[in-house]
A and B are shown apart, each in its own frame.
Chain A
């Protein structure tokens, strides 16, 4: 069995950022990767996807963005190439084509089983990304003949049968997919639950430039009043480009809005009557964001009219042939099915304080709002990995907290 001080699982931007900081502290480690470097950026993204953050925000430790279009939006392939280039430049000790099948306490701290042998490590860093679609259980009740596709499996409109599409979910993925499908000539019905409306540009700057400039992205996880709620906040209704994809824009393209998908009975999709309220919540939230920016920047920028929409139907008969497919843009989660350490809560989410799990030596990266709002984006990996590498180093230096079999074997 091979032994390292740390095993990092996943060679994406987070795993490589961690590797960089561990190397800087001369901590021996390996980065295990099931596919190639930046695998998910090549295999779990749709063809037209671009980052919704401007390119200058695609920074990694010691690696500012140095391309020729800092205000553009990188394609998924360009992100993958950038990360692969970073892995090569930094000489990260990546072992590709190695799928982790289990992480459990044992030996010097953890035993990491893979399809190509085992590793032992005092520390494990979970950086395998967000690779699992969350599809509501009611999807089981879709009538026969209606195609069903989670957003992670969506590639392009040609993948879906001709005819109408119900897109469930109006966060970044949902609005982007709805727009693309509507433009492909399909009638899209978009089921809208809670969402976050922001304009692409505000006062002649990208909205993310403002969120960076006024310190929103640096708000720390341990200073927020309701962290759970902040972490559950849906992604921004933005696309990687100048086109607006808010509910006004989508309606102008011809997308029909309905409320959150609340039920599926006898082939009929039932939509919540709460659409007016979720739209009002998003408009109020947008107002607060713009007010905050103005407070910090001085002056006052433009304001957008509240979203208006016609009275939405509460039901849609999926057996009528009008809708031929359903795309589930209902969220993504990390896959911890291989994690045999008792650190998951009753809903299967990782328990952690800013990426430090309650099990000594086990860390995580790349979770939404993990240590700061920036953690949600690629740009957050720099500081998050630096913080966790410092914590890990400190633990090494002080011999770590006493814990279970590791303490007994080490003493």
Chain B
């Protein structure tokens, strides 16, 4: 059956993204970005992080407003639960990154999305951060992401969109590959 279909619109400006890729061939410096946040201790395990400025496209940039994010630990940790735990923010980052990628890849492939939901779970053994067992790492021992997607595409095409989103995801890369981290005190 052939029906007239409107062009897919997932609200992603793919042309703008592809334009950046093309422009970067001539001026590679425009794709050099720096992301920033600052954090202030409030009390106990509660801290507040601010996100506003970043660098990219060859100049200082800023969000339209300053975002403030509280992090804390739950009552079960004898803390006051003013916000998600830092490790949960990592899951938030991964889920948000992969989902943005799903929308962008679907847009590029002219697939109309109707709903996209994912649940994320990270396994972690507290023996690591408690210093109780040196063979247990501090971080996650594994992360799983499960998507439920309703879209104008076959199950294989949807799986391919999710796979391509992982391939192009910054946070997926950050979590699956080592990164140099330098912490100093001034």
Chain A contacts to B: CB under 8 angstroms: 194, 259, 262-263, 265, 270, 272-274, 277, 280-281, 284, 287-288, 345-346
Contacts and interface: CB of A to CB of B under 8 A. Distances in A.
Contacts of B166: 274, 277
A281 B162 CA distance: 10
B176 A284 contact: no
Contact of B177 (A263, A284, A346): A263
A281 B163 contact: yes
Interface string B6-30: 0000000000000000000100100
A47 B159 CA distance: 41
Contacts of A263: 177-178
A287 B163 CA distance: 14
A265 B156 contact: no
B160 interface: yes
A280 B175 CA distance: 18
A265 B180 CA distance: 11
A274 B176 contact: yes
Contact of A259 (B159, B160, B172, B176): B176
Nearest to A311: B142
Contact of A274 (B28, B159, B172): B172
A315 to B, nearest CB: 9
Contacts, number: 39
12 contacts: A262-B178, A272-B176, A272-B177, A274-B166, A274-B172, A274-B177, A277-B166, A280-B159, A281-B164, A284-B160, A284-B163, A288-B156
A366 B157 CA distance: 33
Given A274-B172, A346-B28, A280 B163 contact: yes
B178 A284 contact: no
B163 to A, nearest CB: 5
A102 to B, nearest CB: 27
Dominant SS among interface residues on chain A: mixed
A288 B121 CA distance: 30
Interface in B135-186: 156, 159-160, 163-164, 166-167, 172-173, 175-178
Contacts of A262: 176-178
A175 to B, nearest CB: 21
Contacts of A287: 156
Given A273-B175, A273-B177, A345-B25, 15 more contacts: A194-B167, A265-B178, A272-B176, A272-B177, A274-B176, A274-B177, A277-B163, A277-B166, A277-B167, A277-B172, A280-B159, A281-B164, A287-B156, A288-B160, A346-B28
Report the contact-size class of chain B (Cβ under 8 Å from the partner): 10 to 19
Nearest to A260: B177
Contacts of A194: 167
A70 B99 CA distance: 49
A294 to B, nearest CB: 13
A336 B178 CA distance: 33
A194 B168 CA distance: 13
A293 B163 CA distance: 23
A149 B164 CA distance: 32
Contacts of B164: 281
Contact of A270 (B28, B159, B178): B178
Interface in B10-62: 25, 28
Return the 5 tightest CB-CB contacts between A and B, nearest first: A273-B176, A262-B177, A263-B178, A277-B166, A274-B176
B178 to A, nearest CB: 4
Nearest to B25: A345
A166 B11 CA distance: 45
Nearest to B143: A273
A280 B158 CA distance: 12
A277 to B, nearest CB: 5
A221 B22 CA distance: 18
A259 B28 CA distance: 29
B167 A281 contact: yes
A280 B163 CA distance: 7
Nearest to A285: B160
Given A262-B177, A263-B177, A272-B176, A284 B167 contact: no
B71 to A, nearest CB: 24
A262 B163 CA distance: 19
Nearest to A262: B177
A194 B25 CA distance: 24
B159 A284 contact: yes
A262 B180 CA distance: 12
A288 B172 CA distance: 25
Nearest to B142: A311
Contacts of A277: 163, 166-167, 172
A275 to B, nearest CB: 9
Nearest to B18: A226
B108 to A, nearest CB: 10
Contacts of A280: 159, 163
Contacts of A270: 177-178
Nearest to B178: A263
Contacts of B159: 280, 284
Contacts of A288: 156, 160
A280 B164 CA distance: 10
A307 to B, nearest CB: 13
Nearest to B166: A277
B59 to A, nearest CB: 22
A270 B177 CA distance: 8
Contacts of A281: 160, 163-164, 167
A385 to B, nearest CB: 29
A168 B185 CA distance: 39
